[in-house]
A and B are shown apart, each in its own frame.
Chain A
Amino acid sequence: MADTPLQVAGREAKDEPRVPVPIVLLDAFRSFVLSVQDYSILAWRSLLNIFSGPHYFSDTLTQMDDIGVGSLPIVLLAGFFIGAVLVLQTATQFVRFGQTALTGDAVSIALVRELGPTLTGLLVAGRCASGIASELGSMQVTEQVDAMRAMGTDPYRKLVTPRVLATLLMVPLLTALNDFVGLLGGCVAAIFSLRLGAVEFWTRAINALDFGDLMQGLTKPMVYGFILATVGCYKGLTVRGGTQGVGRATTQAVVVSSVMIIVADLFLTKFALYMSDKIF
Chain B
Amino acid sequence: MAIANASMTESTRADLRGGPAVRFSDVSMGFDEGEVLRGVSFSVAERETLVLLGETGTGKTLTLKLAAGLLRPTAGRVEVLGEDVSGMSERQLLAFRRKIGFVFQEGALFDSMTVEENVAYRLREDDVPEAEIAPRVEEVLEFVELSHTLDLLPSELSGGMRRRVSIARALVSRPEIVLYDSPTAGLDPVTSQTIITLILRLRDVYGVTSVLATHRLQDGFALANFRFDAKEKTVVRVAAGQKAEATTRFMVYRHLPGQNGNGNEALDNGIYFDGTPEEVMQSKDPYIRRFLV
A residues with a Cβ closer than 8 A to B are 54, 142-144, 146-154
Cβ-defined partner of B108 (8 Å) among A54, A143, A154: A143
Q: Which residues of A contact B125 (CB under 8 A)?
A: 54, 151-153
Asked whether B97 lies within 8 Å of A152 as measured between CB atoms, the reply is: yes
Q: Using Cβ atoms and an 8 Å threshold, which residues of chain A touch B95?
A: 152
Given contacts A151-B121, A152-B125, contact A146 B70 (CB under 8 A): yes
CB–CB A150/B100 < 8 A: yes
Main secondary structure of the interface of B (DSSP, over half): mixed
Interface residues as binary, B105-126 with A (CB distance below 8 Å gives 1, 0 otherwise): 1101111000000000110011
CB-based closest 4 A-B pairs = A147-B108, A143-B108, A150-B102, A151-B122
B34 CB, min distance to chain A CBs, angstroms: 15
Known: A152-B122, A152-B125. Is A146-B97 also a contact (CB below 8 A)? no
A148 surroundings in chain B (CB, below 8 A): 110
Interface residue range, chain B: 20 to 34
Contact mask for chain B residues 143-175; partner A; CB cutoff 8 A; 1 contact, 0 none: 000000000000000000000000001000100
Point out the residue from A54, A142, A143, A149 that lies within 8 Å of B97, measured CB to CB: A149
Across-interface contacts of B94 in A (CB, < 8 A): 149, 152-154
Q: A-contacting residues of B (Cβ < 8 Å)?
A: 65, 68, 70, 90-91, 94-95, 97-98, 100, 102, 104-106, 108-111, 121-122, 125-126, 169, 173
Are B108 and A142 in contact, CB atoms less than 8 angstroms apart? Answer: yes
Given contacts A143-B108, A146-B65, A152-B97, could you give 11 more A-B pairs where the C-beta distance is less than 8 Å?
A144-B109, A144-B111, A147-B104, A147-B108, A147-B109, A147-B110, A149-B70, A150-B70, A151-B97, A151-B98, A152-B95
The residue on B at minimum CB distance from A149 is B70
* Given A146-B104, A147-B104, A152-B110 contact (CB < 8 Å): no
Query: In the complex, what's the smallest C-beta–C-beta distance from A65 to chain B, in angstroms?
Result: 14
CA distance A148 to B109 in the complex (A): 10
Contact call B102/A147, Cβ cutoff below 8 A = yes
- A192 to B100 CA separation, bound complex (whole angstroms): 70
10 A-B pairs with CB atoms under 8 Å apart are A143-B104, A147-B108, A149-B94, A150-B102, A151-B98, A151-B122, A151-B173, A152-B95, A152-B98, A152-B125
Residues in chain B near residue A146, CB distance under 8 A: 65, 70, 104, 108
Contact (A143, B105) CB under 8 Å given A150-B100, A151-B97, A152-B95:
yes
A151 to B110, CA, bound (A): 12
Measured CB to CB, the closest approach of chain B to A248, in angstroms, equals 19
Please give, as numbers and ranges, the residues of chain A lying within 8 Å of B68 by CB-CB distance. 150
Collect the chain B residues with CB atoms within 8 Å of residue A144's CB. Answer: 108-111
Residues of A close to B100: CB separation below 8 A: 150
A150: chain B residues at CB < 8 Å are 68, 70, 97, 100, 102, 104
Once bound together, how far apart are the Cα atoms of A224 and B150, in whole Å? 41
Cβ of A246 to closest chain B Cβ, rounded Å: 14
Contact (Cβ within 8 A) A142 B106: yes
